[in-house]
Amino acid sequence: MAIPILPGLSLAESELEVSYILASGPGGQNVNKVATAAQLRFDAARSPSLPERVRARLLDVAGSRATRDGVIVITARRFRTQQRNREDAIERLAALIREAAHRPAFRVATRPGRAARQRRLDGKAHRANIKRGRAIRHDD
């Protein structure tokens, strides 16, 4: 079964490895007995589902969640059940991939025009004159 990320981009569930670990937090005595926290591992470096551009950016966006081998590790322990924690981890991975797939707007570096530079210099000269007028004058 495929997990939809964006139109034209989806992940196969077989690429995800989910294991369950003991979680802290609410749950009473149950928290000591049942492994409800989900730990999702996704090998982004070798994933055939991701285009090269998205793969490279995903490892940057993941930051400390990515290992040196290119595996992204997400731990979800927000909820009390394994199923909801698993869904939460998958949704967080999908959000990371969506962020990595987003193309930042191309910005063309511009310089201020001549009139803008002149206005800036006129403003500076005006402020300097005001401050010069406040100075204490010693008429000797």
119 vs 4, residue with greater confidence? 119
| Reported confidence tier of residue 64, pLDDT bands at 50, 70, 90 | confident
pTM: 0.69
How confident is the model at residue 26, as a pLDDT?
64
**Edge-to-edge strands, sheet with 16-21:** 16-21, 37-43, 71-76
Residue 90 to residue 51: CA distance in whole angstroms: 19
**Between the CA of residue 136 and those of 33, 70, 102, 132, 133, what are the distances in Å?**
79, 67, 59, 9, 8
Query: What DSSP string runs through 11-38?
Result: EEGGGEEEEEE---SSSTTHHHH---EE
Q: What's residue 27's pLDDT?
A: 65
How confident is the model at residue 114, as a pLDDT?
96
Name the band, by pLDDT with cuts 50, 70 and 90, for residue 57: confident
How many other C-beta atoms can be found within 10 angstroms of the C-beta atom of residue 66?
19
CATH 2.40.160.10 matches 2-101: no
Query: For the chain, what is the mean pLDDT?
Result: 86
Closest among 8, 23, 18, 1 to 92, alpha carbons compared: 18
Strands 16-21, 71-76: pairing kind: unpaired
25 vs 91 pLDDT, higher one: 91
Task: Give the model confidence (pLDDT) of 3-31 as tens digits.
Answer: 888 888 878 888 888 888 887 766 667 76
